[in-house]
Amino acid sequence: AQKITQTQPGMFVQEKEAVTLDCTYDTSDPSYGLFWYKQPSSGEMIFLIYQGSYDQQNATEGRYSLNFQKARKSANLVISASQLGDSAMYFCAMREGNTNAGKSTFGDGTTLTVKP
Amino acid sequence: EAGVAQSPRYKIIEKRQSVAFWCNPISGHATLYWYQQILGQGPKLLIQFQNNGVVDDSQLPKDRFSAERLKGVDSTLKIQPAKLEDSAVYLCASSLEPGLAAEAFFGQGTRLTVV
């Protein structure tokens, strides 16, 4: 079974508007971390935001916030005030287990296009 | 601070040939990861090192792929012999320490084309 599911292959948003990118996950491990990365066309993966499974509050980093709904196993990324430079591929990832290994799993990504 | 360095950036080889990729992580980062990213998919973890020891290589096709991090710093990933389905971007990442919240920093990747 897919551990990370990103159901939106592509999304469009108007510049300056907010957009939500969906991510659902599957794990039986009580300890896990959820990450969002941005991958521009140049190829490098850029860390955006992190949410731990025991964190009580939703994570925020500047214009990025993570809508964490633990019971629904969802970790949606919200980008506020979209900018043209936000056009990129976005990946949701999960790291499981409170061990050194901390297995990492990525979703297949969502391509975001910001329209001027 | 220098980022994660990878070389080469691009490589084209014929099937059944061998190829090696090199990664130099951020200085002081104990954890190093190699990922394979096939076009249109998310990265798949191939191997994770903690210093010079392997902590996870469950998804590494060990009949053809090998990786080492002998001195606990830079690392090489080798494919021998290559198959057409190995065409992908190979990403190296490092983090200061292991653990759930450890932020991984990625290199720009090596794009491998097997013809």
First to last CA, chain B: 37
CB B7 within 8 A of CB B22: yes
Other C-beta atoms within 10 Å of B18: how many?
A: 11
String of DSSP letters for B36-78:
EE-TTS--EEEEEEETTEEEE-TTS-TTTEEEE-TTSS-EEEE
| pLDDT recorded at residue A71 | 95
Check pLDDT > 60 for residue B52.
yes
| pLDDT recorded at residue B97 | 75
Nearest to B69 by CA among B105, B93, B44, B43: B93
Q: Give residue-wise pLDDT tens across range A22-37.
A: 999 999 888 899 999 9
Whether residues A44 and B106 touch (CB distance < 8 A) is answered with yes
Q: Give residue-wise pLDDT tens across range A87-113.
A: 999 999 998 876 555 678 899 999 999
Distance of CA A88 to the CA centre of its chain: 13
Nearest to B33 by CA among B9, B69, B3, B7: B69
| pLDDT recorded at residue A83 | 97
Q: Give residue-wise pLDDT tens across range B7-49.
A: 999 999 999 999 999 999 999 999 999 999 999 899 999 999 9
Whether residues B50 and A108 touch (CB distance < 8 A) is answered with no
| pLDDT recorded at residue B72 | 83
Six token digits for residue B102: 């450890």
Q: Give residue-wise pLDDT tens across range B67-93.
A: 999 888 999 999 999 999 999 999 999
DSSP SS3 for A85:
helix
Q: Give residue-wise pLDDT tens across range A41-79.
A: 988 899 999 999 999 999 999 999 999 999 999 999 999
CA distances for B40 relative to A19, A24, A109, B63, B99, angstroms: 22, 19, 8, 25, 28
DSSP at A105: E
Residues of B in contact with A106 (CB under 8 A): 35, 42-44
| pLDDT recorded at residue A43 | 86
Mean pLDDT for A3-7 is 95
Six token digits for residue B36: 């394979």
Instruction: Choose the mutation target among B33, B54, B100, B105 for the interface with A, i.e. most A CBs under 10 Å.
Output: B100
- Chain A residue with minimum CA distance to B93: A45
Chain B contact for A40 (CB, 8 A cutoff): no
- Chain B residue with minimum CA distance to A42: B108
